[in-house]
Amino acid sequence: MAAPVFPTPKVIGTKRPEISYKKRSAARVIAFNAAGEVAVVYAKREEYYKLPGAASIPEETGGIVKIRNNLGCVATTEEYRNDLHQMSYCYVADVVDDSESPSLTEDEVSAGLGHLWLSVDKAKTRMAEAERNRN
């Protein structure tokens, strides 16, 4: 079986040679609700937006999703933040049940973590603005 082919990553942040980075890989989900909006996680304390993690969708949004398997990985990001070097692999999904409430950890609550449902354009705009403000 051939190795999966991933899209060229969008690089966020700058790799600094003096930093010894901890490596991390993550799966992210572009989760669409019935209204065509996407789930976006907002960290108020650090003022950034991100896509929810695939494993943490129920905790972060209260929703259950079904991955659109026919699309495979649609985007990748390579991020340098503090001493973290993270590769994220993004998949498209549909919310199939949103009847639960998010269940955030104490650390997530203190970081001001929450989720929003936004149009694709508004989500892209907010993420881009937050990234510009961090640089």
The answer to the question of residue 3 being in a domain is no
**Does residue 2 lie in a domain region?**
no
Token code pair at residue 17 = 């040679």
DSSP per-residue string spanning 39-57 = EEEEETTTTEEEPPBSTTH
The C-alpha atoms of residue 114 and residue 42 are separated, in whole angstroms, by 5
- Enter the pTM of the model: 0.75
Assess if residue 1 is contained within a domain: no
For residue 61, tell me if it sits in a domain. Answer: yes
Q: Which two tokens stand for residue 36?
A: 């065509």
Of 56, 53, 61, nearest to 28 by C-alpha is 53
Residue 88 to residue 5: CA distance in whole angstroms: 14
Question: What residue has token string 């929003």?
Answer: 116
DSSP 109: H
- pLDDT number for residue 58: 62
- Residue 99: predicted pLDDT: 64
**Contact (CB, 8 A) for 32 and 95:** yes
Pairing of strands 113-118, 38-43: antiparallel
Tokens at 51, concatenated: 């896509």
The pLDDT score that the predictor gives to residue 59 is 63
Domain encompassing residue 112 = 10-134
Q: Are 100 and 58 in contact (CB under 8 A)?
A: yes
Q: How confident is the chain (135 residues) per 10-residue block, as mean pLDDT? A: 75 92 92 93 84 71 77 88 92 82 77 88 90 72
Residue 5 counted as domain residue:
no
Assess if residue 38 is contained within a domain: yes
d(CA 54, CA 77): 15
What's 71's domain CATH number? 3.90.79.10
